[in-house]
Amino acid sequence: MTEVTGTALPCNDRLFLHLVRSAGALSKAELTRASGLSAQSATVIVNRLVRHGLLQPGKTVRGRVGQPSTPYKLNPDSATALGIKVGRRSLEVVGMGFDYRILERVTHRYAFPNLTEVRGMIEDAITTVQNRLRAPQRAHLTGIGLALPDQLADWEDAADAPKGAMADWRDADLRAEIAERFALPVTSLNDVAAACLAELETGNPEGYDSIVYIYVGTFIGGGIAMGGRLFTGGGRAGAIGSMLGGGAQQLIGTASLHQLEAHLTAAGLAREMLYGATPLDTAAQAIFASWTEQAAQTIAVACVNAQALLHPQAIVIDSSLPAHLRDQLVTAVQAAASRLDTRGLAQMTITPGTAGITARATGSGIAPFMARFAVDPLASGR
């Protein structure tokens, strides 16, 4: 197998990889039709991708009209990526195969993201993940993805960090540090943009090409996909948390989970109960319902504004909350949006996401593949 890490692939090669990934498997004849290229060109491209190890032939189908047909699918071991999600409460590092399946995962939790400690955790987690990968997977590392919240230094109060404890994030360039330490290209994204990428590539059961994505985590954030591709603009597109929720206050101050956690703590309840699989008790459910009512109203305003500006096929709402609580929030947003003035707008589709708490880490693992193999590559860096 030819080594492909670092090699620039021709545009049509990347197109064929995209078509096969989307369909699961395609024959040369199907790729010829889907690409609009000649049969001869398609054969040359497929043979080259097989020679590079990126595609592998499946079992030949015989007995139909015409020539036997051989489907081609992605070779999951032909390229591997590492993904790093730096959150306000946890660090997650994943090793991902070319089929976007997570091969290994290491998670560290912390009270708040201390930069020095996070650096050490990243080093430890990447070493652990690499050691767990099989030799062929380690041999074909194509890059590292970094999903990181914007302006971490500005959120000490919300992260319950001591004053000044996160100030060093202001001048840090974690992407450059990781690239130098591990000698691999690093593709950096906002953490919720990475979650949007994960939804687009591994969730999205309806196959939407255009979505506004809202992630309700410790802080609420968002992402945008247009034409089946993540849209980052100048790097800050989809900053849902900074939108005004019908008044002078940003959504980040009214619809983030750290406010809900604070309400639970004030009532003498453990915030960890939010993230379990069991239903909330009566007291916690009452607090959750009160927070949901306020959060849903402000999120609904953002949904209407997003619909007016972008006319997406769907507005997708996901969360680090477990599915049963996320669905309660989505239902409340749908109800709140139905009460708003939407004259002149197409009907909105507001739907739950699919990845939940793993979305940001999954997106960080996909990002290097998008930078290396996508038809319209993400830039390495941000």
pLDDT of residue 65: 62
158 and 99 in a common domain? yes
Q: Are residues 343 and 223 in the same domain?
A: yes
In a domain, 333, yes or no: yes
Query: What mean pLDDT comes out for the span 186-204?
Result: 94
- Check whether residue 218 and residue 345 sit in a common domain: yes
Per-residue pLDDT at 62: 73
* Residues 229, 207: Cα–Cα separation, whole Å: 12
CATH number for the domain that contains residue 67: 1.10.10.10
Q: 104 lies in a domain?
A: yes
Domain shared by 340 and 220, yes or no = yes
**Residue 198 within any structural domain of the chain:** no
Quick check: 258 and 297 in contact, CB under 8 A?
A: no
Predicted TM-score (pTM) of this structure: 0.91
Sheet with 90-97, strands from edge to edge, namely 102-109, 90-97, 80-86, 141-148, 186-190
Residues 110 and 32 in one domain: no
Residue 245: per-residue pLDDT: 82
Q: Is 349 within the bounds of a domain?
A: yes
DSSP state of 240: G
Question: In this structure, are 112 and 176 located in the same domain?
Answer: yes
Task: Provide the domain count of the chain.
Answer: 3
State the average pLDDT over residues 327-340.
Answer: 97
In this structure, the answer to whether residues 242 and 148 fall within a common structural domain is: no
| Domain containing residue 27 | 11-74
Q: What is the rounded distance in angstroms from the CA atom of residue 60 to the CA atom of residue 87?
A: 46
Question: Are both 141 and 211 inside the same structural domain?
Answer: no
Q: What is the mean pLDDT of residues 209-233?
A: 93
- In a domain, residue 100? The reply is yes
With respect to residue 126, please indicate whether it lies within any of the assigned structural domains: yes
pLDDT digit string, tens, across residues 87-139: 988 999 999 999 999 999 999 999 999 999 999 999 999 999 999 999 999 99
Question: Regarding predicted confidence, which is higher, 296 or 241?
Answer: 296
The amino acid that residue 183 corresponds to is A
Strands 211-216 and 220-226 come out as: antiparallel
Decide if pLDDT at 2 tops 60.
no
The pLDDT of residue 3 is 41
Are 70 and 92 in the same domain? no
Q: Is residue 153 part of a domain?
A: yes
What 3-state class would DSSP assign to 96? strand
Q: What pLDDT, on a 0 to 100 scale, did the predictor assign at position 1?
A: 38
Q: Are residues 281 and 140 in the same domain?
A: no
* Residue 37, in any domain of the structure: yes
Q: Check pLDDT > 60 for residue 42.
A: yes
Do 224 and 310 fall within a single domain? yes
Which domain CATH number covers 365? 3.30.420.40
* Max Cα-Cα span within the chain: 73
Same-domain pairing of 214 and 349: yes
Quick: pLDDT tens for 3-32: 444 556 899 999 999 999 999 999 999 999
Residue 131 vs residue 249, higher pLDDT: 131
